[in-house]
């Protein structure tokens, strides 16, 4: 914004019901000139409504995948080339949707932007998620199929094979998001997963950087790292695992020293805060104040690994967006991930802000 626009915003903050003539007089400009400034601010989404009400920046906008997850748990050790006895069940998932539900269960206002088919899977996702997630910005398409993910899990809960049907997200291009630009620029935070095309991630990063909106990138898998932006300037939170960062930086990570070097490189590329997750070895974090390793929270019994990474992201972002320090927020993420590993749910039913902070205060 230029100086005159900033002056108008300050005047509206003081009294949103001033007339244009009153504002023009105070600024010593003509009323038509003031009207042009007002029009420009409305197009930018800085003010809304006839009384020039400033929009509330209270919703977290999450963009990316919303799927139906189908999980097959093997009863015994896997045997390749033949049939394996397994039990199965389906649930709603998708990285963006999972993060959104974690944030919603923690009491945040969350809006999801994605594309789904107009099918039974889309209906299931909305029915099971709408208590915690606002679906008003979701686009449904008649001739496309809602995303799905099929996981084959070992008898001890580890992932053997994952099958992703995510072609629908290739059409989640900037033109889809431009319709919701006012919502994006007035959001509390923008979170994107790398199911989105690279051009979309770049578009969101540019909005966040120009409008000073907190912005988080969450990779989905190492192959999806091709959708990363060319640099990390404007990225407030970059959260990835070892395999993903190896792909992005084109190098091997085999020690804690390697982790520190990788985090340093990501910070040098422009990210403000970096989290490198390492499974049961904890995480390596870094920002302008330094870099350090944090131990994982003890897990009593791993039931299902699906959703643990998204639980970590959701609780971490909840912490930083609600006043916790970066390190304290990451500790919340580690706890939420550990409890999700002990649950058979992708997003655990007992998650709440009270439960999260009660753990930290023990």
pLDDT of residue 91: 86
- For 299-316, what is each residue's pLDDT tens digit? 988 887 888 999 999 999
Could you tell me whether strands 273-277 and 283-287 are parallel, antiparallel, or unpaired per DSSP bridges?
antiparallel
Average pLDDT of span 197-224: 94
Coil, helix or strand at residue 202: helix
Average pLDDT, the chain: 91
Q: How far apart are the first and last CA of the chain?
A: 46
User: Does residue 16 surpass a pLDDT of 80?
Assistant: no
Spatial separation of the C-alpha atoms in residues 34 and 22, rounded to whole Å: 10
Please give the average per-residue pLDDT across 41-52, as a whole number: 71
Do residues 152 and 178 touch, judged by C-beta distance below 8 A?
A: no
Closest CA to 59 of 176, 178, 235, 186: 186
> Which residues have C-beta within 8 Å of that of residue 184, sequence separation ≥ 6?
61, 177, 190, 204, 207, 213
Query: How long a stretch of residues is the chain?
Result: 362
DSSP H stretches of helix in the chain: 3-14, 20-27, 31-43, 95-105, 120-129, 174-178, 181-185, 198-211, 242-249, 256-268, 308-321, 326-341, 353-360
Q: Which CATH class is domain 60-361?
A: alpha beta
- pLDDT of 121-141, one tens digit each? 999 999 999 999 999 999 999
How far from 26 is each of 7, 38, 46, 291, 324, CA to CA, in Å? 10, 15, 20, 50, 41
Lowest-confidence range among 98-102, 157-161, 194-198? 157-161
Predicted pLDDT at 48: 67
Between 197 and 90, the higher pLDDT residue:
197
pLDDT of residue 1: 72
Going by C-beta distance under 8 Å and a sequence separation of 6 or more, which residues neighbour residue 154?
74, 77, 78, 160
- What is the C-alpha separation between 161 and 153, in angstroms, rounded? 7
pLDDT at 23: 85
Q: In the chain, where are the structural domains located? A: 3-44, 60-361
Which pLDDT value is given to residue 56?
A: 63
Residue 51 pLDDT greater than 80, yes or no: no
Alpha carbon 164 to its chain centroid, in Å, reads 19
- The confidence score (pLDDT) of residue 41 equals 83
pLDDT for 49 equals: 62
Count CB-CB contacts under 10 A for residue 218: 27
Taking 90 as the threshold, does the pLDDT of residue 292 lie above it? yes
pLDDT exceeds cutoff 70 at 37: yes
Could you tell me the fold of the domain covering 3-44?
Arc Repressor Mutant, subunit A (1.10.10)
Q: Is 52 left (phi over 0), alpha (psi -120 to 50) or beta?
A: left
pLDDT in tens, 140-181: 999 899 999 888 989 888 889 988 888 999 999 999 999 898
pLDDT of residue 197: 96
pLDDT of residue 351: 94
| Residue 2 clears pLDDT 80, i.e. is over it | yes
- The 10s digit of each residue's pLDDT in 308-348 is 999 999 999 999 999 999 999 999 999 999 999 999 888 99
Residue 10: alpha-carbon gap to chain centroid: 31
Contact 8, 42 (CB under 8 A): no
Distance CA 78, CA 154 (A): 7
Instruction: Tell whether the model's pLDDT for residue 34 goes beyond 90.
Output: no
pLDDT confidence of residue 118: 93
Quick one: pLDDT at residue 101? Answer: 97
Per-residue confidence (pLDDT) for residue 40, from 0 to 100? 84
Residue 55: pLDDT over 90: no
214: left (phi over 0), alpha (psi -120 to 50) or beta: beta
**DSSP-derived secondary structure for 226-293:** GGS-S--TT-SEEEEEHHHHHHHHTS---SHHHHHHHHHHHHHTT-SEEEEE-GGG-EEEEETTEEEE
Distance CA 136, CA 238 (A): 27
């Amino acid at each position: 914004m230029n100086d005159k626009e900033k002056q108008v915003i300050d005047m509206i903050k003081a009294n949103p019901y001033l007339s244009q003539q009153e504002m023009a007089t105070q600024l010593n400009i003509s009323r038509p000139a003031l009207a042009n400034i007002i029009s420009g601010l409305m197009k930018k989404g800085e003010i809304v409504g006839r009384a020039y009400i400033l929009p509330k920046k209270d919703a977290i906008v999450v963009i990316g995948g919303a799927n139906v997850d189908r999980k097959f748990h093997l009863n015994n050790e896997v045997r390749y080339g033949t049939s394996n006895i397994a039990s199965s069940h389906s649930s709603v998932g998708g990285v963006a949707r999972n993060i959104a539900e974690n944030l919603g269960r923690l009491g945040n206002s969350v809006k999801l932007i994605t594309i789904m088919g107009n099918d039974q899977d889309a209906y299931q996702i909305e029915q099971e998620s709408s208590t915690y997630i606002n679906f008003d910005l979701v686009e449904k398409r008649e001739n496309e199929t809602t995303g799905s993910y099929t996981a084959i899990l070992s008898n001890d809960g580890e992932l053997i094979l994952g099958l992703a049907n995510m072609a629908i997200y290739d059409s989640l291009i900037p033109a889809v998001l431009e319709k919701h630009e006012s919502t994006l620029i007035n959001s509390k935070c923008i979170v994107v997963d790398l199911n989105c095309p690279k051009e979309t991630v770049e578009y969101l990063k540019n909005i966040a950087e120009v409008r000073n909106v907190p912005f988080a990138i969450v990779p989905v898998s190492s192959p999806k790292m091709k959708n990363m932006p060319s640099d990390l300037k404007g990225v407030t939170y970059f959260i990835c695992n070892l395999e993903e960062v190896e792909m992005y930086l084109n190098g091997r990570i085999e020690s804690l020293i390697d982790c520190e070097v990788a985090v340093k490189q990501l910070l040098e590329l422009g990210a403000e805060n970096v989290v490198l997750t390492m499974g049961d070895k904890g995480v390596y974090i870094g920002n302008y104040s330094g870099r350090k390793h944090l131990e994982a929270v003890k897990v009593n019994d791993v039931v299902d690994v699906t959703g643990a990474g998204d639980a970590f992201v959701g609780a971490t972002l909840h912490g930083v967006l609600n006043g916790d320090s970066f390190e304290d927020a990451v500790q919340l993420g580690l706890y939420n991930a550990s409890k999700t590993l002990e649950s058979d749910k992708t997003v655990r039913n007992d998650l709440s802000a009270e439960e999260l902070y009660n753990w930290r205060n023990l």
